[in-house]
Structure 1
Amino acid sequence: MAGSGDKQLSEIEARLHREDPRFARALGAGRPCHPREYRHPRAWLLLAVALAVLGTGIALAHGLLIAAGLVLAGMAGELFDPQRAARRHCNPPSRS
């Protein structure tokens, strides 16, 4: 019974190394970092740009800048979704 548990743990460890090697190395070193699903540097950058554009649009009372800032904020919000990649690879419903 103990051998099967060790086998399962080694399979989980191997899968973790394949999926997110940075997280696996940090966990092995005792300094865990956020898993890949929760690291969003581009999303934060896009959100900062969106808020800057939105604030500029509000300050200048320019509707096009306000709309662009809101669209960029929506795009940044979509990038924060951890299940985004899974939904992108799912099969669309068939048209019959």
Structure 2
Amino acid sequence: MAHDAQLRALEDGLRAQDPRFSEAMDAGQPCTPREYRRGRAWLLLLAGLTALGAGIGIGHGLLLATGLVVAGLAVHLFDPDRPRPRGLFSPR
């Protein structure tokens, strides 16, 4: 009985953290957990590197700096252990 309660608590915690992954596990077709979904990070990195390249190409300092900042933000998104913000709309 105690093990059932622990498993139920783990299941509820997983459902609160990543509902998409939890629903896919219930259906028997698991998807990638949230920590390893990095589509937005790749797009942001591509945009940052594009702005960086354009800033170098045309010699525009503000565009160059913007590209560096955006690329740095994108690299930060690749960290799977980064703390998740707890805002108004985040699951608890």
Given the two structures, how large is their TM-score scaled by the length of structure 2? Answer: 0.71
Give 2:30's aligned residue.
32
In structure 2, the gaps of 5 or more residues are 87-92
63, 66, 70: which one pairs with 2:64?
66
Give 1:44's aligned residue.
42
The count of corresponding residues between Structure 1 and Structure 2 is 86
Give 1:94's aligned residue.
none
Q: CA deviation at 1:83?
A: 3.2
SS at match of 2:79: coil
Larger Rg: 1
- Aligned AA (1:25): E
Superposition RMSD on alpha carbons, in Å?
Answer: 2.2
Q: CA deviation at 1:47?
A: 1.0
Q: CA deviation at 1:7?
A: 2.3
